[in-house]
Chains A and B, each alone.
Chain A
Amino acid sequence: MIVADKKPIEEIIEAVRPYGRLLILGCNECVTVCEAGGKKEVGVLASALRMYFLNQGQEKRIDEVTLERQCDHEYLEEIRDRIDNYDAVLSLACGVGVQFTAEKYLSKPVLPGVNTCFLGVTEKRGLWTERCQACGQCILAYTAGICPVSRCAKRLLNGPCGGSTKGKCEISKDVDCAWQLIVDRLKALGRLEDYEKLFSIKDWSTDRAGGPRKVVREDVQI
């Protein structure tokens, strides 16, 4: 899923200050799972903002809506008939949801309420970690199912580098060395000799480097 983190309340306050009528728009998917932008967070943020502006003596109308998803036309349509009641939308979806909302309601300022971080997993409640950078050309088959692009601090394809120490990355004792994980897993699979295969130079054109990407599936288009 896409993992996001709450923006500091001070930043949000400054962003919404100019607007009298505000819609806080949550999303029921990834940001709900990572507890950054679901219905619950929308409620908490709305109360906090109401309280703050009340204390400041500023009149503000703050409403709450949480959509099934903000990255799909059909769900975004659900607010079409009420969007004009607001001066701005504070979206707690990931950057994708924020942009799609803005694209759909061109005349409305749409502000991000979270920092979109990465594609990751819930390791345990309150701990989310990165697993993929969506490079568009997956190499997990050759790296024992562990992604060096997203999990090695230098995204080395033939690592580990000389900084790997006791299973940890040179950048921090709290970060696993991705290549230690890969080697351990190769060993467990009885495939350690695979490590010696040279990884040739990667085609990054399917990554961000190639410009905005597109997936076209004519077979499912209607």
Chain B
Amino acid sequence: MTTKTPSKLEKILASGQLAVTSEVGPPRGSNPKHLEEKANIIRNHVDAVNITDNQTSVTRLCSLAACIRLKLMGLEPVLQMVTRDRNRIALQSDILGAASFDIHNILCLSGDHQSFGDCATGQNVHDLDSMQLIQTVRRMRDEGKFLGGADIDRPPRMFVGAAANPFADPFEIRVMRLAKKVAAGVEFIQTQCIYNLDKFELWVKMARDRGLTEQVHIMAGVTPLKSAGMARYMKNRVPGMDVPDEVVKRIAGVPKEKQPEEGIAICVETIERLKTVPGVHGFHIMAIEWEEKVPEIVERAGLYPRPQV
């Protein structure tokens, strides 16, 4: 078991134990209270906490500042970073900022298109794409170099992650795309929320057949559904999301007040089933504004207590 960074997440994954991460969306304002509350609810049940970066292109308190806050509270943050809003100077600069606070995990993303958010008429940047951001962090960390070639004094020591969506199209290149991210230097993957388990398992199998699961830790993404309405919304309105009809039917089949409970049950069953899939090394629980349910999900799925490393 060799690790390249001081990241706890990396240590747990390297030890072969199933890792658990969750995420917190920063507030739409500068009041940190809510963020701290959310973090405190999940702190004992997860190994690291992703901080989203202006998710769905809605302007929020910056991911880096929120990560620092978490770090100061004694939690391990995963800095999500999208290439939508910053050019390569700003990206590298924020990476250094995070490194100066010993933030040891980063998730490299391209980000949703700005037309989904509160600044739909804004400019996007996309100087780099997510794969190129992965390469950038690896170069900064492993070679101690900026993209421009200059040396970095105290290079970042970050465990490098990215997202994968096994349900986006075209399906035939979904594994090739994972291979590309691996070639770019990604070390862990958090997937899009999984509701279509058969398709996800097929994707992991294809990745396994190519030996990719030996090279990258795949963490399966789950999101508990709160209601049949949410299931339908995710199915019809969220690009790249695959919610099979059976799932919608199942949650719609129970009375409204019981639907949240059913959503949690589906989520726990998903984790239980995926725990046994070779190549799945952990879970990323995205309980969008429903953080209070994360401890229950983690416990019921048999992932508690979290290992000490």
Contact = CB atoms under 8 A, between A and B. Distances in A.
B169 A165 contact: yes
B128 A201 contact: yes
Interface in B65-111: 84, 88, 110-111
A166 interface: yes
Contacts of B113: 153-154, 163, 170-171
A195 B88 contact: no
Interface string B222-256: 00000000000000000110000000000000000
B110 A154 contact: yes
Interface in B117-163: 124, 126-132, 135-136, 147, 163
A100 B279 CA distance: 62
A170 B179 contact: no
Contact of B240 (A155, A164, A167): A164
Given A157-B129, A171-B113, A162 B180 contact: no
Contact of B179 (A161, A184, A196): A196
A198 B168 contact: no
A160 B128 CA distance: 14
Chain B's interface size range is 35 or more
Most chain A CB inside 10 Å of its own CB: which residue of B127, B128, B168: B168
Contacts of A200: 132, 135
Contact of B126 (A155, A166, A183, A196): A155
Interface in A167-213: 167, 170-171, 177, 180, 183-184, 187, 192, 195-196, 198-201, 204
Contact of A183 (B84, B170, B180, B192): B170
B15 interface: no
B2 to A, nearest CB: 25
B173 A154 contact: no
Given A162-B192, A162-B240, A198 B110 contact: no
B163 A162 contact: yes
Most chain B CB inside 10 Å of its own CB: which residue of A162, A165, A200: A162
Contact of A195 (B135, B164, B169, B173): B173
B218 to A, nearest CB: 15
Interface of B: 84, 88, 110-113, 115, 124, 126-132, 135-136, 147, 163-165, 168-170, 172-173, 176-177, 179-180, 183-184, 192, 239-240
Interface of A: 153-167, 170-171, 177, 180, 183-184, 187, 192, 195-196, 198-201, 204
